Structure 1
Amino acid sequence: MEPWLHPVVLEGELVKLVPLEKSHKVDLAFAASDGNLWELWYTSVPTPATTDAYINTALLELGEGKSLPFTIVDKRTNAVVGTTRYMNVDAANKRLEIGHTWYAKRVQRTGLNTECKYLLLKHAFETLKCIAVEFRTNFHNHPSRNAILRLGAKQDGILRNHKVDANGNLRDTVVFSILDNEWRTVKTSLEFRMKQGASK
């Protein structure tokens, strides 16, 4: 059967999302070191030592049809500034999650994230014909929770004691979603924000 997801380049005014490749390792490690992002205990950003494994896992899931990972390129500098992916893909029910998203500190709150999410949502709803797109984050990651709400997603609930993290902490996961019949309004809002030069 034909796979639902295919590697694709998504491009806007500020950002280009290109299929993740092993050759992006050095650039991704450099991007993550801008702000030592892996030190935030409630996120899952790779360290320079774990970038290989991070990429290999993403590419393995790509091969299994479980995810579609992207490297994020800042078009103003042509530099790699982070990564994101479609994940937890449920092709039969046309659902997926947008996650594993992180950005170098220097491009956070620059409007780049808004455009990145806009491109991913537009492709999900208008090309892949998704019926729902999810976002999940750690209960303690308040910046991420607020950013997801600003996109126009609604909170579905909290999965308590959902996971055990690398340090043995129990993680409560907050689940958000945007439904296909909400996309038109969300799209209008995001396009307005991008036109106004929104800050995230």
Structure 2
Amino acid sequence: MDFETGPPHAKKSRYHHGDLRAELLKAAEAILSENGIESFSLRAVAKRAGVSHGAPSHHFSDVRGLLTSLAGIGFQRFVRTQIDRQSEAKADSVSQLAASGLGYIDFAIENPALFRLMFNSEQPDHLDQHLAFEAFSAFNKLVVDVKNVRKIDPYSDPVVMKDVMSAWAIVHGLANLMISNRAGTAMDFARMSKADRDAELTDIILRAIGLSANT
């Protein structure tokens, strides 16, 4: 029975979660992870969520609107993953910068399809106000982490902003290499213990801006 035309008791039983928008986003991420962007559609999302094919249109204008919202949520989780890593690290600014980079890589490894949607896909509307805010917040976190190391605001110093870009390029490159299984020839991270992998990645991350773990 279609939700839009069904009786009240049907509405209650099918939408016991109470938040259809959240359920649709959850279904969308599952489909993206399993099948990639090529076979993504609102109809598939509706089917996965167990609702009528027209239900998503009440919350998202089209496929791009849904993927834009999903990318925005991805950036929120992305930053939280970095903060979680930092909470486990030493409090000095260099360790915190490295931990943020490790969190960046953690997120990519744990969410490769979502990571690619956020950074590599033109499907989301990157001019959307909410998505742009979340993406900038993620970038600004890196800026603050570098500022804490250099004691200079990168927004006011082009040289320090180059440190931001260098750190970003290295970490993003590592993340992409690892989720694409391209790093094995140079460094077989998959065979390392977590501690050894983190130590090697930390060294690479800090080298990007001329630092070391002992700085």
| Structure possessing the higher radius of gyration over alpha carbons | 2
